[in-house]
Amino acid sequence: MAISAAQVKALREKTGAGMMDCKKALVESGGDDEKAVMYLREKGLSKAAKKAGRATSEGLVTPYVSEDGKTAVISELLCETDFVAKGDDFKAFAAALSEKIAGLDVTTGNADDLPADVADVTDLIAKLGENMGVGRFAKITTDGVLGVYVHTNNKLGVIVELTGGGDEDLAKDVAMHVAAMNPQCIASDELPADVLEKEKALYMKQAMDEGKPENIAEKIVSGRLSKFYSEVCLIEQAFIKEDKKKVKDILGGAAVAGFQRLALGDKTE
């Protein structure tokens, strides 16, 4: 018999089971809602709903790079405890998640931006006994060069895209730098105008409060802006592996075309 999407959705909301499991339960139960609920309970699939409110502050950030090296993904899979995050089943799901995202027409987002079957963790919850969820993800596809760095604890990952030159080692070095220094943008021209105006106004007030003449204050503002750029703009930052140089100095003929950084659980990232 035909099972409507509305029936599947209603059963999912009631039980917390996955979309495909709900559809199968309705088919097996001839469309009878109560029998479908019992079917899911018997299979242990509805218990995910009981765990849905529990905090998921642990998990993994997992990378995937396509065989041709032109597509890279980092994705966040969340759970309750570090113990579960270190398990083989959790790691395998996380790796498969990133690989699936690589094949989708998406760039950045969270579970709401993925097909329901890709983001569905119901079976994993039933198997491992913790609340879980897909968090954020980022994907870059390029004709240039990609570098991926994931910190040893698998809670922080970065993708860097280079164009115009460079190689994978250089891109990975820049990705490691991004992981450590967390720049806000690539270059100063990407900073929003209102952010710059606020910084300039702050520095001017500070200089005037210090009793500096206006012409000297303007030079002070310029100097403090340069320092601000060196803190928040990737190519202006001191390179972590050779701090006498800025990132722009180690690029050679290459340019940083983009980067994505995911730190586990950091919703402001």
Per-residue model confidence as pLDDT tens for the chain (269 residues): 688 888 888 887 777 677 888 888 899 899 888 888 888 777 665 556 556 667 788 999 999 999 999 999 999 999 999 999 999 999 999 999 999 999 999 999 999 999 989 998 888 887 888 889 999 999 999 999 999 999 989 999 999 999 999 999 999 999 999 999 999 999 999 998 998 889 888 988 888 888 888 888 888 988 999 999 999 999 999 999 999 999 999 999 999 999 999 999 775 33
- Measured distance CA(214)–CA(198) in Å, rounded: 18
Please name the helix (run of DSSP H) or strand (run of DSSP E) that holds residue 38, with its range, or none.
Answer: helix 33-43
Please report whether residue 42 resides in a domain: yes
At a CB cut-off of 8 Å and minimum separation 6, what does 3 contact?
Answer: 23, 26, 27, 31
Number of domains forming the structure of the chain: 2
Say how far residue 214 (Cα) sits from the centre of its chain.
45
Same domain, 122 and 87: yes
Please report whether residue 240 resides in a domain: no
Please report whether residue 35 resides in a domain: yes
Domain range for 41 is 5-46
- What is the model's pTM? 0.78
Nearest Cα neighbor of 120 from 262, 22, 220 is: 22
Please report whether residue 96 resides in a domain: yes
Helix intervals (H) in 69-133: 82-85, 88-102, 116-119, 122-128
Please report whether residue 147 resides in a domain: no
